[in-house]
């Protein structure tokens, strides 16, 4: 245990910016639920908490990493309007995937997703439906952004997000089915869906799947409005579209076992 100092405050505050997260190899999980859900998944650098929090919630397991701070100091480091009484500074893990798990599993591909809440939601549904790997364009919001970490509700501990050049990456798996949702696609509820390994792409909140990445799609799907009507929402939120698509893929796979 140690008391906080200006060096730690400066370090933690800097981690709000991706450049410094990359430089230091660290990210922040803030709030007791977030810390609890991630504690066993990452190597903790610091556990920063108020004395009151530690007296009520702390354990001997926390003690070696513990840094005590006042509420005013927590507020200086917090990225939220209402700062919490505890935050963990974790090391960013080195993650990898194998060609075997990609070929045999369902894989999510994210093309320029910008909203942290959407990425967090998609990671939660991936966790729920047993999707281990997400492949994201380099322009997609950083998974270690504090809003994403919070929105995953612990899924960041189990779902891996790999950032890559999607065009080159999908070229390497040209033998696999690639699904995407479009307004002119086939009805997702009545078309035959792949049963083995596949990619399913979700695009930018405003622009959808970019033309270059859409060129890799082998099956265009559409989620129809029900009942059909002339007026209504123009499109679905990408997180909702992802939930419907992944759910339908899993459902049809179970039906055809």
DSSP of 40-75, one letter per residue? Answer: TTS-EEEEEE-HHHHHHH--TTTGGGEEE--HHHHH
What's residue 195's pLDDT?
85
Indicate whether 165 and 238 sit together in one domain: yes
Co-location of 58 and 174 in the same domain: no
Q: Identify the pLDDT of residue 231.
A: 53
User: Do 84 and 108 share a domain, yes or no?
Assistant: no
Residues 226 and 123 in one domain: yes
Is-contact 202 111, C-beta < 8 A? yes
Amino acid 235: pLDDT: 77
Residue at a domain's end among 72, 91, 110: 91
CATH number at residue 50: 3.30.1330.30
pLDDT (average), residues 97-117 = 96
User: 31: which 2 tokens?
Assistant: 């709030």
One domain for residues 192 and 115: yes
Together in a domain, 105 and 227: yes
Residue at a domain's end among 32, 67, 91: 91
117 and 59 co-located in one domain: no
Residue 144 structure tokens: 């270690």
132 and 250 within one domain: yes
For 67-93, the pLDDT digits (tens) are: 999 999 999 999 999 999 999 999 999
Secondary structure of residue 19 in the 3-state scheme: helix
What one-character DSSP code corresponds to residue 29? Answer: E
Specify whether 84 is located in the same domain as 107: no
Whether residue 49 contacts residue 86, with contact meaning beta carbons closer than 8 Å, is answered with yes
Instruction: Let me know whether 69 and 165 are in one domain.
Output: no
210 and 235 part of one domain: yes
The domain total for the chain is 2
Nearest to 92 by CA among 144, 48, 152: 144
The pair phi, psi for residue 176, each rounded to 5°, is -100, 150
Range in 50-59, 172-181, 248-257 with the lowest mean pLDDT: 248-257
Predicted confidence at residue 182, as pLDDT, reads 93
The pLDDT, as a whole number, for residue 3 is: 92
pLDDT at 234 over 90: no
Examine the fold and report which residue of 91, 107, 130 is the final residue of a domain before the chain moves on. Answer: 91
- Report the mean per-residue pLDDT for the chain: 94
Identify any residues that bridge with 198 across adjacent strands, giving them in sequence order. 106
Q: What confidence tens digit (pLDDT) does each residue in 183-215 have?
A: 899 999 999 999 889 999 999 999 999 999 999
pLDDT at residue number 178: 98
pLDDT at 232: 63
Q: Is the pLDDT of residue 175 over 60?
A: yes
pLDDT at residue 50 in the model: 97
* pLDDT band, residue 254 (cuts 50/70/90): low
CATH number of the structural domain spanning residue 120: 3.40.1280.10
Residues 77, 109 share a domain: no
Residue 228, pLDDT above cutoff 80: no
Which pLDDT value is given to residue 226?
Answer: 82
Residue 151 reports pLDDT greater than 70: yes
Enclosing domain of residue 42? 2-91
Nearest to 96 by CA among 63, 57, 132: 132
């Amino acid at each position: 245990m140690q008391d906080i100092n200006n060096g730690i405050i400066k370090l933690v505050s800097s981690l709000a910016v991706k450049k410094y997260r990359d430089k230091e190899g660290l990210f922040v999980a803030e709030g007791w639920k977030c810390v609890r859900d991630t504690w066993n998944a990452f190597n903790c650098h610091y556990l920063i908490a108020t004395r009151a929090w530690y007296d009520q919630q702390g354990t001997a397991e926390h003690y070696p990493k513990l840094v005590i701070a006042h509420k005013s100091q927590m507020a200086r480091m917090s990225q939220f309007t209402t700062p919490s009484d505890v935050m963990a500074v974790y090391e960013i893990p080195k993650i990898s995937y194998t060609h075997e798990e990609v070929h045999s599993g369902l894989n999510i591909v994210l093309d320029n997703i910008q909203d942290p809440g959407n990425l967090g939601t998609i990671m939660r549904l991936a966790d729920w439906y047993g999707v281990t790997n997400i492949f994201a364009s380099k322009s997609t919001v950083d998974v270690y952004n504090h809003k994403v970490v919070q929105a995953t509700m612990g899924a960041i501990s189990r779902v891996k997000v790999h950032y890559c050049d999607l065009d080159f990456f999908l070229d390497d798996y040209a033998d696999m089915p690639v699904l995407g949702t479009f307004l002119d696609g086939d009805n997702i509820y009545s078309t035959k869906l792949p049963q083995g390994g596949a990619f399913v792409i979700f695009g930018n909140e405003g622009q959808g799947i970019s033309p270059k990445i859409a060129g890799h799609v082998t099956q265009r799907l559409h989620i129809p409005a029900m009942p059909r009507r002339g007026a209504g929402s123009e499109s679905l939120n990408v997180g909702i579209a992802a939930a419907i698509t992944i759910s339908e893929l899993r459902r049809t796979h179970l039906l055809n076992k």
